[in-house]
Chains A and B, each alone.
Chain A
Amino acid sequence: MEIDPLIFRLSIFILSIFVGYYVVWSVTPSLHTPLMSVTNAISSVIIVGAIIAGLSGNSENVFNTSSIFGFFAIALAAINIFGGFLVTQRMLAMYKKKKKDKK
Chain B
Amino acid sequence: MISANFSAIFYLVSGVLFILALRGLSSPETSRQGNFFGILGMIIAVAVTFLSTGSFSSGFIYVLIFILVGGSIGAFIAYKIPMTAMPELVAGFHSLVGLAAVFVAISAFLNPEAFNLGKPGEIKLGSLIEMSIGAAVGAITFSGSVIAFLKLQGIMSGSPITFKGQHPLNAIILISIIALIYLLCSTQSSNLFWILLAVSFLIGFLLIIPIGGADMPVVISMLNSYSGWAAAGIGFTLENTALIITGALVGSSGAILSYIMCKGMNRSFFNVILGGFGATDEKSSTSSKEQRPVKSGNADDAAFLMKNASSVIIVPGYGMAVAQAQHALREMVDTLKKNDIKVSYAIHPVAGRMPGHMNVLLAEANVPYDEVFELEEINNDFANADVAFVIGANDVTNPVAKTDPQSPIYGMPVLDVEKCKSVLFVKRSLSPGYAGIDNDLFYKENTLMLFADAKKMTEDITKNL
Contacts and interface: CB of A to CB of B under 8 A. Distances in A.
Interface of A: 5-6, 9, 12-14, 16-17, 19-21, 23-57, 59, 62, 64-67, 69-99
B22 A49 contact: no
A54 B347 CA distance: 46
B106 to A, nearest CB: 5
Nearest to A35: B25
Interface string B392-404: 0000000000000
B79 A70 contact: no
Given A40-B94, A79-B73, 17 more contacts: A24-B253, A29-B374, A36-B354, A37-B89, A41-B38, A46-B97, A56-B115, A62-B57, A62-B59, A65-B110, A66-B110, A70-B107, A75-B66, A77-B70, A78-B67, A82-B73, A87-B86
A76 B96 contact: yes
B299 interface: no
A97 to B, nearest CB: 6
**Chain B interface size range:** 35 or more
Contact of B242 (A14, A48, A66, A74): A48
B170 interface: no
A52 B60 CA distance: 10
B121 interface: no
Interface string B348-380: 010000111101100110101111101000000
Q: Is the interface of A mostly helix, strand, loop or mixed?
A: helix
Contact of B359 (A25, A33, A72): A33
Given A30-B359, A57-B59, A49 B104 contact: yes
Nearest to A65: B110
A86 B23 contact: no
Interface string B219-253: 01100100110011011111111111111111111
A99 to B, nearest CB: 7
B95 to A, nearest CB: 9
A66 B244 contact: no
Contacts of A90: 78-79
B111 A56 contact: yes
